[in-house]
Structure formats: structure tokens, C-alpha cells
């Protein structure tokens, strides 16, 4: 970003220029903010040849004729201002005139209301080498862009005024192509008819009518080429603006400095804001700005009416507000995708049914959830009152209270177990007279195996800190033994943690030591056992769909097993029995899926090769004494395919052994 700033300033410093420069970027990406906060002040603080530069900024948004641009320049030029206006602006530390005030000044001058007794300083008026013109929103003007650029060219080529143009060239291109399209189509059709080419000659080389009309439009109304010609003459350099998000987000958050609780929360969750923004797939900072403003209202209402709301819930609300704002306001999805979802429970049920029901809404919600909540675990992920507020701009108090009452019953801080309070609140917010009871409650839950494995590891980081600070009466040896036993008990009821690394990154440890390393090692061992248990259960669920529920089998295999060594977790004899009962068509389909899968995910599925080899051996034994039939031929081909897959790993094994020997 600093390189871009310096390049623009180099243009300003140049002794002589007969060209303008362009800053190109997407709508809402912060180009105007960049001009106001990174460029303008630096230009106005520059002194070259004893002169201080003056910037004259104007937005072309909605401009309907070139005279309006001239009026804007007149009003923005301080040398032409009424002395009383200058004095007022100086006393109020005002550097620019608001658009509303410009309208009033313009009309006042028109009716002769204002008087300026000073004589005009023609030296200032005719001076051009100390002015920098900035034209913003070129693509949003209601004047032909070719005419605007020709108008600007007068300043650049004849007066040699340094000029900066800010625009979105992608939208400008679309505007050039789509303007007056009905009229262009009518004229193009008329010309083709006059030329006798409207109906075509029915030859094989004859173009479709739509393509002919499009070609004629481009030939007759080639505004794009006109634009490129004048741009080549006028614009010396085009700079691509890519927002420096950390800088921009800091600017967005500064507007909330007067709200200490809100700004603290937003700054603590800058990573979540950045992550959600990136997942939106857009660069539209304007939508993010509106989303954060909406969240301000949400945050205030929650803190006012439900002050003990869990921090994790507030984080999820922040993600949801930003996500829904982008999905609706960026035009990525129609508003009705969310309208019929009445609460969090229905949202979750849609996620489950999305695997089975062929419904666009189901698939959309599944993609929405997996995108914005990827690796973010939260029980409550859909807030109807927020969705209504973003979609309609109405804050529905009844829906808000209904949502919050459900949340309180499930995740309210005061009703949470002690270990969840410790993990979701800052521990220093716990009262001293509560702290000892919470510690004892946690240790009791540990011994009973009531806490998940990943949470036990997180808790150990806290307990290590508490022992170091003398906040609890236990020694490390005792605590470590309790945690080890608690992990063993928990492994009997816990689920596999598939995002362990990310969860463990959230643990704030002042330093690692052998005790922590031992806990982590034990966690990974138990978590791998839970993974195997999970895959054994999944394999049983998926393979039992053969041969009676093949549609479900294909759906789940494609979505859940392509990069997972699932055959490792299912008995080879059971695999053969189910396969032999499948139809010939399904045997062929499964064979093709396995071959394709082995090519795409060779390394990932390597652990299942021992069982694949056994399945092949069982098939080969079965077909030895059998006369040929279509089924037997299909099984022979299936065995041959398994052999091709196994051959991939002979080379792999040899390479691995070679690497081991070299080491």
C-alpha cells in the first residue's frame, strides 16, 4: 500500500505532466477512504518550488451534465470562496464543504443572496501548477463517459493540471456495453434487414441471429474502443487498488471509540471480522461498514436486555450479521433464502436434511454454514431477529426476545457448568467467592468424565497458570494425574475433534513445559482412537446401504469418503458380501469411483490398502471355481481395478523404504 501511495506522490512531484493517473478498484473496496486518509493530506502538506498544493475533489456520482462539474470545481476552489465562508470554515476546522451546503451556496449565488466585496485575486485564479484535481465515481455519472474524459482532458493536456481519476473499470466496461441496449438492438436489426442479412442464407457458416445483432452493435456503437482511445491519450498510468485490510478495518472500528464495551469486543474479535469478510468472496468494504453498524444496534440491545450473554454467542452473532449482510446485499442470494427459516432448530434440521433432499434452499444453507462457520463451533448459529433486521431494517423486539430466551436456556453464562464458564469468560470476571467452588466443580466433572477431550486440554492450560500464580491449592503432580484420568474417562463418551490444531491454537500459554507436552501427547493418542471409532461407525452406516440403498451410499461416499481411508474401518469379508449382492451396474459404478478416487487422493487413502488387498484376495478366491456369467465378469474386472490401485502403492512403498535407508 505504501508503494502505491509513493507512486501517486511521485506523479504529483513531477515537474511536467500532460497526462492523468487512474486508481482502479472494485465498488466498496475503500478507494475514496484511501484518497481521504492516505493521499489527500500528504499532497496538501507538500511544498514544491515554494508552493503548497491544493486538492480539489469531486464525486461524479449522479452528474447529469458537464456544467455541473464546472459548478462543483467553482465551489471547491477556495480562491473563489466568499471571505465569510473562508472565515467560517477556518474557525470550525472545516476543510471541505458538505454536499448539502454546496447546493445551498450554488442557489444563493444564483439568486444573488451572497455578496463578496473583495476583489478577485486573478493571480490565484489563473494559477494551475499548485492544484490537484480528483474525480471520483467516474462509472456512476449520468453523462457519457467519453464526454467526461474529453472534458477532463482540457485540464490535463492544455493546463497541465495534475489530475487523479478514481473508478471501477469493470463496471465502466459493463456500462459502456449495456447503455441504450434496446435502441442499439433496434438500429442493428434495421441495418441487418436493409443489408439483406437479417434472415441469413441458411449456409453452414451462417452465424446465429443473436450473434449477428451483437456484432453489428459492436461495429456501429463501439464505445469501448472510443473509451480505450481517449484513455490511452489521457491516462498515463493506471494503479490497481487492493485494500490493505488491517488498515481499513482499524479505520472502520474507530467510529465506535465512543462505545467502550463495543469497541473492546470488536477489537478482540478483529480476526473473526477479517475471516468472515474474506469468506464472503467480495472486496466490498461498504457492506462490511453497514454490517458493523447493524451489529452496533444488536450488541447494544443484547447488553441492555441480556447483560450476561455468553461471549461465544456474541461472537456468533457478529459472524452471522456480517455473513447475512454480504449474502443479501452483495446480490449473492435472494432474500427469500432465509425468510422461511423460523429459528435455530429449523436451521440445524435443514443442514441435516440437505444431504438427502434435492432442494436448492437446503444446499444453499449447507454451503452458507460450511463457509462462514468453518472450524467455528457454536450450538446456536442462526438468529432470526438479526436476519429480519438485515433484510427489512426492522428490529423486531418480539422475535429478539424469543430468540434470546431460547439462548439463555441453552448457553446462558449463569446456567453453564463451571468448566464452560472458565472457557468462555475471562477468568478474572469470576468473583473470588465463586472461584474455589468452580475449581472444585471442574475437578469433579473431570473425574466423572463429563468434559470433552479438547476442553480438558484447554482447561489444563488454565490450571497450569493457576498453580503458577498460587490461585489454587493443588500441586502439579496431583492435577496432572486428575487430568490424565479425566481424559481416559472422557474418551469413552467424547467425539473425535477434527479441528484440534485450530482449537489448541486458541489456548494462551505463557510457555510450554513437559507437563503440557505430556497432556498434548495423551490427547492426540486418545483423539486418534476416537477418530478410528468414528470411522468404524461411519463405515458401518455407509456400507450397509449396499445393495438396497445405493443412492444414499453414493451420496455419502462421494461427500464423506473420497479422501478418507474408509475401507480400513470395514471388514473385508463384509465388503465382499455386500458387493457380491449389488447389481452388475452398481459393481461397475463402484469400480470406477474407486479408480478415480485412487488417482485423486492416493496419499490420503494409503492406510486402507491392507484391507483392499484382502478384498481382492477374497474376490479372486470366489471367482476361481465359478463359470463365467455377467456378474463373474464384473467381479473379475473389479478385482483387476483393485490390482491397478494396489500397484500405485508398490512404487510408493519402495520410495518410502529408500528414503528411510538414506536417513
- pLDDT of res. 198: 67
User: Do the beta carbons of residue 54 and residue 127 sit within 8 Å?
Assistant: no
pLDDT for 82-130, tens place per residue? 566 666 666 666 655 554 444 445 545 544 444 444 444 444 544 567 7
At 353, is the pLDDT very low, low, confident or very high (cuts 50, 70, 90)?
low
pLDDT for 270-293, tens place per residue? 889 988 988 888 777 888 889 999
DSSP 308-343: T--HHHHHHHHHHHHHHHHHHHTTSS-THHHHT--S
Collapsing DSSP to helix, strand or coil, 463 comes out as helix
At 304, is the pLDDT very low, low, confident or very high (cuts 50, 70, 90)?
very high
* Sequence-ordered list of residues with C-beta below 8 angstroms from that of 608, at least 6 positions apart, any chain: 565, 566, 567, 568
- Measured distance CA(328)–CA(360) in Å, rounded: 16
CA separation (Å) from 624 to 316, 347, 620, 641?
60, 53, 6, 17
Top CATH class, 2-175:
alpha beta
Higher-pLDDT residue of 647, 25: 647
pTM of the model: 0.44
- Measured distance CA(330)–CA(287) in Å, rounded: 8
At 201, is the pLDDT very low, low, confident or very high (cuts 50, 70, 90)?
low
For the chain, which residues make up each domain, given as ranges? 2-175, 245-415, 418-532, 563-662
Mean pLDDT for the stretch of residues 514-527:
91
- Measured distance CA(41)–CA(20) in Å, rounded: 19
Task: Say yes or no to pLDDT of 242 above 90.
Answer: no
- Measured distance CA(258)–CA(89) in Å, rounded: 25
- pLDDT of res. 68: 77
Collapsing DSSP to helix, strand or coil, 56 comes out as strand
Phi and psi torsions of 379, nearest 5°: -70, -35
DSSP 195-225: TT-SS----TTPPPHHHHHHHHHHHH--HHH
* Sequence-ordered list of residues with C-beta below 8 angstroms from that of 571, at least 6 positions apart, any chain: none
At 653, is the pLDDT very low, low, confident or very high (cuts 50, 70, 90)?
very low
Q: Which residue has the cell 465515481?
A: 137
Task: Say yes or no to pLDDT of 208 above 80.
Answer: no
User: Do the beta carbons of residue 88 and residue 170 sit within 8 Å?
Assistant: no
Please, what sign has the CA dihedral across residues 652, 654, 657, 663? Answer: negative
- pLDDT of res. 355: 46
Neighbouring CB atoms inside 10 A of 390's CB total 26
Cell (9 digits) for 24: 482502479
For the CA atoms of the chain, what is the radius of gyration?
34
Residue 365: burial class (beta carbons within 10 Å; 0-12, 13-18, 19+): buried
For all residues of the chain together, what is the average pLDDT?
80
Amino acid at each position: 500500500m505504501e508503494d502505491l501511495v509513493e507512486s501517486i506522490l511521485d506523479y504529483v512531484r513531477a515537474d511536467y505532466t500532460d497526462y492523468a493517473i487512474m486508481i482502479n478498484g472494485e465498488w466498496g473496496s475503500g478507494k475514496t477512504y484511501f484518497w481521504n486518509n492516505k493521499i489527500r493530506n500528504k499532497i496538501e502538506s507538500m511544498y514544491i518550488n515554494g508552493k503548497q498544493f491544493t486538492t480539489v475533489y469531486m464525486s461524479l456520482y449522479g452528474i447529469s451534465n458537464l456544467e455541473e462539474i464546472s459548478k462543483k470545481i467553482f465551489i471547491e476552489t477556495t480562491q473563489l470562496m466568499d471571505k465569510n465562508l473562508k472565515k467560517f470554515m477556518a474557525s470550525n476546522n472545516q476543510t471541505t464543504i458538505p454536499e448539502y451546503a454546496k447546493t445551498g451556496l450554488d442557489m444563493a449565488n444564483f439568486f444573488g443572496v451572497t455578496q463578496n466585496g473583495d476583489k478577485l485575486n486573478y493571480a490565484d485564479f489563473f494559477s494551475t501548477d499548485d492544484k490537484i484535481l480528483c474525480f471520483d465515481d467516474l462509472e456512476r455519472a449520468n453523462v457519457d463517459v467519453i464526454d467526461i474524459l474529453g472534458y477532463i482532458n482540457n485540464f490535463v493536456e492544455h493546463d497541465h493540471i495534475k489530475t487523479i481519476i478514481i473508478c471501477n473499470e469493470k463496471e465502466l466496461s459493463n456500462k459502456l456495453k449495456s447503455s441504450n441496449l434496446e435502441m442499439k438492438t433496434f438500429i442493428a436489426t434495421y441495418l441487418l434487414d436493409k443489408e439483406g442479412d437479417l434472415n441469413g442464407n441458411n449456409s453452414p457458416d451462417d452465424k446465429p441471429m443473436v450473434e449477428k445483432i451483437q456484432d453489428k452493435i459492436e461495429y456501429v456503437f463501439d464505445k469501448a474502443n472510443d473509451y480505450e482511445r481517449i484513455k490511452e491519450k489521457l491516462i498515463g498510468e493506471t494503479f490497481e487498488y487492493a485494500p490493505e485490510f488491517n488498515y481499513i478495518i482499524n479505520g472502520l472500528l474507530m467510529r465506535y471509540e465512543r462505545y467502550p464495551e463495543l469497541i473492546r469486543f470488536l477489537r478482540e474479535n478483529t480476526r473473526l471480522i477479517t475471516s468472515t469478510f474474506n469468506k464472503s468472496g467480495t472486496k466490498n468494504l461498504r457492506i462490511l461498514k453497514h454490517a458493523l453498524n447493524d451489529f452496533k444496534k444488536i450488541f447494544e440491545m443484547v447488553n441492555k436486555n441480556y447483560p450476561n450473554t455468553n461471549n461465544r454467542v456474541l461472537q456468533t452473532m457478529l459472524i452471522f450479521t456480517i455473513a447475512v449482510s454480504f449474502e443479501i446485499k452483495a446480490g449473492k442470494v435472494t432474500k427469500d433464502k432465509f425468510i422461511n427459516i423460523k429459528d435455530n432448530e429449523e436451521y440445524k434440521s435443514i443442514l441435516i436434511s440437505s444431504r438427502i433432499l434435492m432442494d436448492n434452499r437446503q444446499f444453499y444453507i449447507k454451503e452458507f454454514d460450511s463457509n462462514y462457520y468453518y472450524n467455528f463451533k457454536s450450538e446456536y448459529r442462526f438468529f432470526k431477529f438479526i436476519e429480519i433486521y438485515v433484510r427489512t431494517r426492522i428490529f423486531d423486539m418480539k422475535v429478539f426476545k424469543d430468540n434470546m430466551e431460547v439462548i439463555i436456556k441453552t448457553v446462558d453464562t449463569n446456567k453453564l457448568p463451571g468448566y464452560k464458564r472458565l472457557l468462555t469468560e475471562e477468568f478474572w470476571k469470576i468473583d473470588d467467592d465463586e472461584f474455589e467452588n468452580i475449581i472444585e466443580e471442574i475437578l469433579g466433572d473431570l473425574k466423572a468424565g463429563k468434559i470433552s477431550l479438547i476442553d480438558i486440554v484447554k482447561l489444563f492450560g488454565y490450571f497450569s497458570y493457576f498453580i503458577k500464580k498460587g490461585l489454587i491449592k493443588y500441586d502439579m503432580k496431583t492435577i496432572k494425574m486428575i487430568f490424565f484420568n479425566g481424559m481416559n474417562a472422557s474418551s469413552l463418551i467424547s467425539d473425535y475433534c477434527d479441528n484440534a490444531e485450530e482449537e489448541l491454537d486458541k489456548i494462551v500459554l505463557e510457555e510450554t513445559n513437559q507437563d503440557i507436552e505430556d497432556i498434548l501427547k495423551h490427547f492426540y493418542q486418545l483423539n486418534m482412537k476416537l477418530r478410528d471409532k468414528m470411522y468404524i461407525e461411519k463405515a458401518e452406516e455407509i456400507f450397509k446401504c449396499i445393495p438396497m440403498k445405493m443412492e444414499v451410499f453414493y451420496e455419502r461416499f462421494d461427500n464423506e469418503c473420497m479422501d478418507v481411508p474408509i475401507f480400513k474401518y470395514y471388514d473385508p469379508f463384509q465388503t465382499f458380501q455386500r458387493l457380491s449382492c449389488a447389481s452388475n451396474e452398481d459393481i461397475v459404478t463402484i469400480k470406477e469411483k474407486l479408480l478415480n478416487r485412487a488417482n485423486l487422493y492416493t496419499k490420503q487413502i494409503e492406510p486402507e490398502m491392507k484391507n483392499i488387498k484382502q478384498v481382492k484376495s477374497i474376490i479372486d478366491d470366489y471367482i476361481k471355481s465359478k463359470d463365467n456369467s455377467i456378474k463373474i465378469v464384473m467381479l473379475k474386472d473389479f478385482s483387476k481395478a483393485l490390482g491397478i490401485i494396489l500397484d500405485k502403492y508398490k512404487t510408493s512403498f519402495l520410495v518410502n523404504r529408500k528414503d528411510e535407508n538414506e536417513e
